[in-house]
Chains A and B, each alone.
Chain A
Amino acid sequence: MPITEKKTKELEKIARKLRYEIVMMIGAGKPGHLGGSSSIADIVSVLYFHKMRIDPQNPRWPDRDRFLLSKGHAALAQYAALAELGYFPKEELRTLKELGTACQGHPEMLRTPGIEANTGSLGQGLSVACGIALAGRLDKKDYKVYCIIGDGEIAEGQIWEASMTASNFQLDNLVAILDKNRVQAMGPVVERYDTNPHPEKWKAFGWHIIEIDGHDITQIVDALDQADEIKGKPTMIIANTVKSKGVPFAEGKAQFHHGVMTPEQYETARKLFED
């Protein structure tokens, strides 16, 4: 169902808030995964604040929709969403990577309410998502499994093993979103290690393909709704995004995959998203 203009504005506002929190979590003078976290902020906003059936008071509710962040380094966007929804206190966001924090460098299910699985060693999350989708079918549950992967990450062979699992078992309760931000840690994907062409590859592996602008809330919503209608195969939403989206000095730059903001850059970035 298409969303109202009001809802679109609200989700845009939340995405903006997530980006603000990402910048605040990283701070100045310390490295942090700004690029890949910012590129998924709009998708995370739609999933957590519109699409997914969740209960923040009951993170292990058996009927919940699942969110797997296979590109685990982008966890900052997820932490911001989880805190905003009340899975854990917002103050915890200020303790990113500190000893004992719930906001680990990469997602840890036993430390953080709302995290479904441990990810961050790239390539594994999509397989875990397949397992959860298989269990859902076995248990006759109607939950959906959403999994975000990266365009650098798909160089991992395990991604393609998982892609075959999803099509072999006709996992139509699984929706993967390719965060095609075009930049991996050491540089542009096409220059460092070209994983293209994406639609052709995923189509050949048996997936239904939808291509969108991953920063357009309406397109994200429409794609996720369309995925609900696809039967007998998994859906891949190829989301064209921009690394470090919204932070002009960092946009599209590999340096900010895991970069350090100077105090001036940090101030600039913070003010961009401040209300």
Chain B
Amino acid sequence: MNMQNCRTVYGKTLVELGMQNERIVALDADLCKSTMTCLFEEAFPDRHFEMGIGEQNMVSVAAGLALSGKIAFVNSFAVFSAGRPYDQIRVSVCIGKVNVKIIGSSCGLSDFGDGATHQSIEDVAIMRALPNMTVLSPADGIETRKMVQAAVEYDGPVYIRILRNEIPDVTDEKQEFEIGKPTVIREGKDITVFAHGYMVYKALKAAEIMEKKGVSLKVVNVSTLKPIDEKAIKKLCSSAKGIITVEEHTIIGGLASAIAYIMRGSAIPMEAVAIQDTFGQSALDYEQLLVHYGLTEKDIVKAVKKILK
């Protein structure tokens, strides 16, 4: 299976797009070698701004650049790009639908070593709550590339979650990416599994396990967390015996909340695989944290069994 690092893909893609589009600018808060916009800085030194370690100012400055016609990419770890400057995103960016793209790098638990302060488990909830904000989470490197391009083409605020680590490709190179459109990664008839980010891969693993047991899982990549196509979600659930959501995020305010709201009033049983209402912590590797917080194929299998019991 081909592995790709989404942040490297992001950094390279931004350079490619930057060559075609002079309006693209990037801002960093002393982490460009982690966010990989160091590549953009190297290619376009005039269009890259080192903003020092000050994320709140960085977001509002980006708004100013965007108000003057730039497509401004704000880069930092998700906790610092989405969490710390929340009010700046709200007032300087979202109320005016300003063309700023917020990159939530090292998202979820992917910054495994740095502990709770650096692990963004609530960024999707915060960003989804903001009117005018589009919230994206790519399932792999292939989708990251298309998503960044879509964000450039879309006029308005966008938040993109970017994982820190290498993950396997799961999406189809030929599949067109469209903001708002969930895509079926694996067909199945018994249970519909909605996931985003790296969790799409985990859902596919669970589907392989369950297939051997005679249960078929439909795996859906909900890479746009806002706006969500309600009709499409309902259709994907229409003949399912159960629904499972899987997300590398707190159970509050993310995919589970979104799908539960759409499927309200439905009699279809639903289970959620997510981080419970708790912060992360340091670990020596990423997978160890996913096991600890219940975000593995085994946890998805458990959820399937719970529904079929």
Contacts and interface: CB of A to CB of B under 8 A. Distances in A.
A131 B96 contact: no
Contact of A124 (B49, B52, B54, B60): B60
Interface in A135-157: 135-136, 138-139, 157
Interface in A152-200: 157-158, 161-162, 164-165, 168-169
User: Main SS of chain B's interface residues?
Assistant: helix
Contact of A120 (B60, B61, B62, B91): B91
A158 to B, nearest CB: 5
A134 B61 contact: yes
A134 B65 contact: yes
Given A127-B92, A130-B64, A110 B52 contact: no
Interface string B22-61: 0001000000000000000000001101011010110111
A133 interface: yes
A221 B205 CA distance: 70
A117 B63 contact: yes
B91 A133 contact: no
B97 interface: yes
Contacts of B92: 117-118, 124, 127-128
B61 A158 contact: no
Query: B47, B57, B69, B92: which has the most chain A beta carbons within 10 Å?
Result: B57
B57 A118 contact: no
A123 B87 CA distance: 11
A132 B68 contact: yes
A107 to B, nearest CB: 10
Nearest to B91: A121
Interface string A243-259: 00000000000000000
Given A108-B95, A164-B54, A135 B60 contact: no
B67 A127 contact: no
Interface residues of A, number: 33
A89 B70 CA distance: 31
Interface string A42-66: 0000000000000000000010000
Nearest to A161: B57
B54 A161 contact: yes
A249 B51 CA distance: 45
A135 B97 contact: no
A174 to B, nearest CB: 10
Given A118-B92, A161-B54, A130 B61 contact: yes
Nearest to B93: A118
A127 B91 contact: no
B226 to A, nearest CB: 20
A135 B90 CA distance: 22
Contacts of A124: 60, 87-88, 91-92
Given A116-B67, A135-B68, A162-B57, A121 B47 contact: no
B40 to A, nearest CB: 14
Contacts of B46: 138
Contacts of B54: 158, 161, 164-165
A127 B57 contact: yes
Given A120-B91, A121-B91, A158 B56 contact: yes
Contacts of A169: 49
Contacts of B69: 62, 135, 139
B73 to A, nearest CB: 13
A129 interface: yes
Given A118-B92, A121-B91, A138-B47, A161 B56 contact: yes
Contacts of A161: 52, 54, 56-57
Contacts of B65: 131-132, 134-135
B159 to A, nearest CB: 18
Contacts of A164: 52, 54
B60 A127 contact: yes
Best-surrounded residue of B56, B62, B64, B68 (most CB of chain A within 10 A): B64
Closest 5 pairs between A and B when the two form their complex, measured CB to CB: A131-B64, A127-B60, A135-B68, A161-B57, A161-B54
28 contacts: A62-B69, A108-B96, A109-B96, A110-B95, A116-B67, A117-B67, A117-B98, A124-B92, A127-B59, A127-B63, A127-B64, A128-B63, A128-B67, A128-B92, A131-B62, A131-B64, A131-B67, A132-B68, A134-B61, A135-B67, A135-B70, A138-B46, A139-B69, A157-B56, A158-B54, A161-B56, A162-B60, A165-B51
Interface of A: 62, 108-110, 116-121, 123-125, 127-136, 138-139, 157-158, 161-162, 164-165, 168-169
Given A117-B67, A127-B59, A132-B64, 20 more contacts: A62-B69, A117-B92, A117-B96, A117-B98, A118-B92, A118-B96, A124-B88, A125-B60, A128-B64, A131-B61, A131-B66, A131-B68, A132-B67, A132-B68, A134-B65, A135-B64, A138-B70, A162-B61, A165-B57, A165-B61
